[in-house]
Amino acid sequence: MNEHIVVVDDELDLCELLEFNLQKAGYNVTTFSNTKRVEQFLDEEKVDLVIMDRNLPGIEGGEFIKILRQKGYNEPVIFLSAKGSKDEKLQGFENGGDDYITKPFELDDLLVRIKAVLRRSGGESEFYKFKEIVVKKGTGEVFVGEKALNLTKLETELLIKFIKNKFNILSRDHLLQSVWQDDTNSDKSVNIAVKRLRQKLGKSGDHIVSVRGEGYRIC
């Protein structure tokens, strides 16, 4: 299994309870008591699901997720909150939640809902994001911060492949099969395409690194 779940809740006892039971169920778990370091963590680690409280110190959890969605973060989110009115639940979904569970809750229900959300999230996303790089899948638009870039279709697909597999090493053979999808190109084709992509990304191209004898990864 090994999916990575982030829990954001200011109730430390609840964080410990969720961490223990989710790890017991086979998940990797990281907990936060507020949102201050969550965005940075999403940039630095592969996260499969966020469980978010709404009554948090500082920014309210629903507003935080709304901001993340506007920036292009697409990790699935389950709200776990004492805010349980119909309007509050609707607001949670409108802000980008994939599911909503009210406190108090049954642990077995949460585990079932986690599996369902993870299963549904296996499809294509509207955005792909890594740090300051955002790709809009539907239009093929690529942005570094607010600056729009002019990438070829191949370069865009190559960038998406890196982002979807962030921190993982992708061999040249794998890239040829999954991006070029033919046997007429060579490792040299990959090297040239990656070099051009890095150049077009400017300083952000430094995120794509060569791993000697193995391939490339974005990190």
pLDDT tens, per residue, the chain with 219 residues: 579 999 999 999 999 999 999 999 999 999 999 999 999 999 888 899 999 999 999 899 999 999 998 888 888 999 999 999 999 999 999 999 999 999 999 999 999 999 999 988 765 556 788 889 988 877 888 999 889 999 999 999 999 999 988 888 999 988 988 888 776 678 888 999 999 999 999 999 999 999 998 999 998
Q: What's the rounded Cα separation, in Å, for the pair 167 and 45?
A: 8
* Amino acid (1-letter code) at residue 83: K
Delimit the CATH 1.10.10.10 region(s) of the chain.
Answer: 127-218
Greatest pairwise CA separation for the chain in angstroms: 59
Domain 4-120 is classified in which CATH homologous superfamily?
Response regulator (3.40.50.2300)
Q: What's the rounded Cα separation, in Å, for the pair 107 and 119?
A: 18
Delimit the CATH 3.40.50.2300 region(s) of the chain.
Answer: 4-120
Q: What is the pLDDT of residues 126-151, one digit of tens each?
A: 678 888 998 887 788 899 988 999 99
How many Cα atoms sit within 13 Å of 167 on the Cβ side?
7
Topology, domain 127-218: Arc Repressor Mutant, subunit A (1.10.10)
Q: What string of DSSP letters covers 12-69?
A: HHHHHHHHHHHHHTT-EEEEESSSTTHHHHHHHS--SEEEE-SS-SSS-HHHHHHHHH
pTM, entire model: 0.68
